[in-house]
Amino acid sequence: MNIQRALLSAILAMGLSVALPFLVEAALPAMVDTQALPSLAPMLDRATPAVVNIATESRVASRRNPLLEDPFFRHFFNIPNQPREQMAQSVGSGVVVDAKRGYVITNHHVVEGADTITVTLRDGRKLNAKVIGSDSQSDVAVIQIPGGNLTALPLADSDALRVGDFVVAVGNPFGLGQTVTSGIVSALGRTGLGIQGYEDFIQTDASINPGNSGGALVNLRGELVGINTAIIAPSGGNVGIGFAIPANMVARMMNQIVAHGSVRRGQLGVSVQDLTPDLARAFNLPAGQGAVIAQVSPRSAAARAGLREGDVVLNINGRPVHDGGGLRNIIGLLEVGEAVRLEIRREGKPLTLEAKVGEYTPARADGEAINPRLAGATLEEIGPNSPLAGKVQGVLIAEVESRSPAARAGLRKGDVILAINQQRVASPADLQPLVNNRDTLLINLLRGREELVLAFR
């Protein structure tokens, strides 16, 4: 028995002596075959100082029961006056793109309506920021912090991205502080998601969560390829489907915002529709390639260039057009006066036309000028650059002032007036004759995907 125990001990000792070097080596894998292990740390050491955390504060109207607005009701029940506004706080991210001038790119929705903006750098410095300009349609904003001793991220050519390229997302998820996640480019050119007006998203599976908005999506060289902006999150958190605005689009928007304080969006002056399978067969073209010109506005850039109804636009400035939304995106992201080269198909024959992008100014009207019950609402036509163009006929509610008659009646920004007193409308000019001398206004609205009726008395 003692001999068996001694033999077992010897076998165990020999096994441990053989296995121990491998265990130690596995615990400390500094190198493999004399090669250092790959790491993103050196790139991130250079890139992360350019990514900042953004905290905003804004005053928002408090939701109160309408009875509390009645002084007699408050007096009768001895209810003290209550503040009509409260402070709201939010967090997001941003990217320093110009260290000398202190320009920081972020999302429009991160700083929209903010009264104060505080930017926190990776080294802990807190700086007050001001908004240079913002564009809700592309969800891009430029803010400025004091320059000096800043690190900026270089912008990459996002058109060179390929599906499968490795990318890293840097931001401030859930306000935790700077966080890094990695993944790949899952898809390119994502449109039609309804997230914002102009969509040409990079899709990635790098984890993006609330608070990452405005943060950086970088390549393995530490260059900015996109600004993280949105996720599809059925459960409220990341499920591996995130979207970033391409760096090339960001650069175009930033240049216009810095130069003009806003984006001067161009337009051709056409209404378009998708090339459906039936239309594709009629034009003898592959489905999903091109957009059909349905209407050309007189004296527009398209009319001057010679575009006609029935033309199929296949390519703009070397970029293929897959559908009507893609055409609108390409044109809407060009500067006013910029030259465009259009490759089209007319009556089965290829043709190349050149045009200069014009500036589109939608017809607007003040609601109060139309009817006192609409006071506080700004009404706007649905122009060719709108995501609703060609899909909805009506009048867009562009703005609604809080606590105004229009707001109290239930109108919201983004609503579309389809009809008034059962009469269809297509422009603000159509409203005036329909509301005169009417005791009650029945307004048919489109809100998102739902239709509803509001009664104004």
Catalytic residue annotation: 109, 139, 213
Structure tokens at 430: 């159509």
CA 434 – CA 425 distance, rounded (Å): 9
For residue 329, the 8-state DSSP code is H
Please compute Rg for the chain using Cα positions: 29
- Measure Cα distances from 79 to 75, 82, 83, 141, 403 in Å: 6, 9, 12, 42, 21
CA 241 – CA 430 distance, rounded (Å): 43
Nearest alpha carbon to residue 125 among 91, 98, 148, 155 = 148
Burial of 399 (0-12, 13-18, 19+ CB in 10 A): middle
Using alpha carbons only, what angle is made at residue 242 by residues 240 and 246, rounded to the nearest 5 degrees? 145
Residues with Cβ < 8 Å from 183, sequence gap 6 or more? 166, 167, 168, 169, 204, 205, 206, 207, 240
> How many other CB atoms are found less than 10 A from the CB of residue 194?
10
Name the amino acid, one letter, at 395. V
Per DSSP (E only), the strands in 42-139 are: 51-61, 85-98, 103-106, 116-120, 126-135
- Measure Cα distances from 378 to 91, 112, 344 in Å: 30, 18, 38
